[in-house]
Amino acid sequence: MSNELYTLNAEVRADLGTGASRRLRRADKVPAILYGADKEALALTLEHNKVIKAQEDEGFYSHILTLNIAGESVEAILKDIQRHPFKPKVTHLDFQRVDANHKIHTKVPVHFLNEEAATKGGNTVAHLVTEIDVTCLPAALPEFIEIDIAAMEVGATIHLSDITLPAGVASVELGKGEGHDQAVVTLNAPKGSASEEATDEDAAE
């Protein structure tokens, strides 16, 4: 995604409430809120067509964004996005201010590499986690986390503790203790294969 899509122009809005938000949406605007960094929350308005274009790219959800507000550039991350139940419309956005000296807590998407190699012979990959909760300073925030599964053995599972995160990035779940070592991806044998039956027998025992 280009840097242009990481930058959004926003206006401060004084007209609040459900009715005001409804009027904004009819005018192709998106109501939003910006909070955090021990500053007062700001109610904002963004152009819907710009938001729609930006939200189509995965990086919009994990990248540090720049909001241009009344001549000031504010760095923020997207914390929540609300959509219309059946129309291709974004109805609300929540942004959190970013302080370069304070760690942020956010979700980062997982990219699984070399699935073609892992699935030769009819094996199937089960994606048990598609995002990982992380905490880090803004400068260390990765756009995504890569997991190479080319060398996985049938029946094996990769857990959070098996993943090498970028420098300065920590797993939120692992920080809670051993019981939070989530399974991320499993490689399963083809259905009805001898290896699958052996795995099932081992599980039953």
CATH number at residue 132: 2.170.120.20
Pairing of strands 131-136, 104-113: antiparallel
Residues 108 and 200 in one domain: yes
Residues 144 and 182 in one domain: yes
Residues 89 and 149 in one domain: no
| Other beta carbons less than 10 A from residue 89's beta carbon | 15
CA-closest candidate to residue 71, choices 156, 11, 119, 117:
11
Tokens of 17: 């409430």
- Domain of 129 in residue numbering reads as 104-204
Rounded CA separation 193/125 (Å): 15
Residues 26 and 78 in one domain: yes
Residues 116 and 194 in one domain: yes
> In 21-165, where do the E strands start and end?
29-36, 39-47, 65-69, 72-83, 90-97, 104-113, 124-127, 131-136, 145-148, 157-159
Q: What is the dihedral of CA 58, 59, 62, 64, to 10 degrees?
A: -160
Residues 113 and 188 in one domain: yes
pLDDT in tens, the chain (205 residues): 446 668 999 999 877 777 767 777 778 889 999 999 889 999 999 999 999 999 999 989 999 999 999 989 999 999 999 998 998 899 999 999 999 999 999 999 999 999 999 988 899 999 999 999 999 999 999 999 999 999 999 999 999 999 999 999 999 999 998 899 999 999 999 876 655 554 554 444 4
Structurally, the chain folds into a number of domains equal to 2
Q: For 103-145, what is the HEC assignment?
A: CEEEEEEEEEECHHHHCHHHCEEEECCCEEEEEECHHHCCCCE
Cα 120 to the chain's mean position, in Å?
29
CATH number at residue 69: 2.40.240.10
Residues 9 and 81 in one domain: yes
pTM strictly above 0.95: no
